[in-house]
């Protein structure tokens, strides 16, 4: 019998919150393959207009263990810089997870920067806690790596996403 594991991640950045939300959340389809071309091959909206209820297919670059994943957009609130989506197929689901939902928020931080917060809810298929905790730890490391790659790109390209 599975369970739901809730996990939080928080990262501070010097990037202004509106700029981070616009680039990392709203334009991730274009930004991520540019920032991490050896990791992501493409992002494609396969259902909907990009808003709530839309389904996005992410394809990883050749040679990666994970071939693709499908995300469902649950909510986009540009005013409050909130984005919620659910991983519904492929990706990190594997044999351990039914689905994973993510609630992301970009808040104002000190000195004009921001705080990126993510609450992840892992809906497990079984209670294999050792494997599940290791996969959650790997997910944290991957999320931090993606975030810092985008942050470095934005710092190196100050005129983009203003």
Give CA–CA dist 117/151, Å, rounded. Answer: 15
Taking only the tens place, the pLDDT of each residue in 58-72 is 998 876 667 899 999
pTM here is 0.91
For residue 151, the model assigns a pLDDT of: 96
Interval 80-105: pLDDT, tens: 999 999 999 988 888 888 999 999 99
Return the pLDDT at 131. Answer: 75
What tokens were used for 116? 């990126």
Residue (of 138, 135, 142) closest to 94 by Cα position: 135
DSSP 8-state secondary structure symbol assigned to residue 51 = S
Residues of the chain with pLDDT under 70: 1, 63-65
Contacts of 20 (CB under 8 A, 6+ apart): 13, 106, 114, 116, 150, 151, 154
Task: Output the pLDDT for position 1.
Answer: 60
pLDDT of residue 3: 86
What pLDDT shows up at residue 64? Answer: 62
């Amino acid at each position: 019998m599975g369970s739901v594991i809730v996990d939080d991640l928080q990262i501070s950045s010097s990037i202004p919150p509106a700029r981070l939300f616009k680039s990392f959340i709203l334009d991730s389809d274009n930004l991520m393959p540019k920032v991490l071309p050896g990791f992501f091959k493409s992002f494609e909206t396969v259902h909907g207009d990009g808003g709530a209820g839309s389904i996005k297919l992410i394809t990883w670059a050749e040679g990666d263990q994970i071939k693709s994943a499908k995300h469902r957009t649950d909510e986009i609130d540009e005013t409050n810089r909130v984005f919620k989506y659910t991983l519904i197929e492929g990706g990190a689901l594997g044999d351990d997870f039914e689905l994973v939902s993510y609630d992301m928020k970009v808040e104002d931080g000190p000195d004009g920067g921001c705080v990126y917060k993510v609450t992840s809810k892992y809906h497990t298929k079984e209670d294999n806690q050792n494997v599940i905790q290791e996969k959650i730890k790997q997910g944290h490391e991957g999320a931090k790596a993606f975030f810092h790659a985008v942050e470095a790109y934005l710092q190196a390209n100050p005129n983009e996403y203003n």
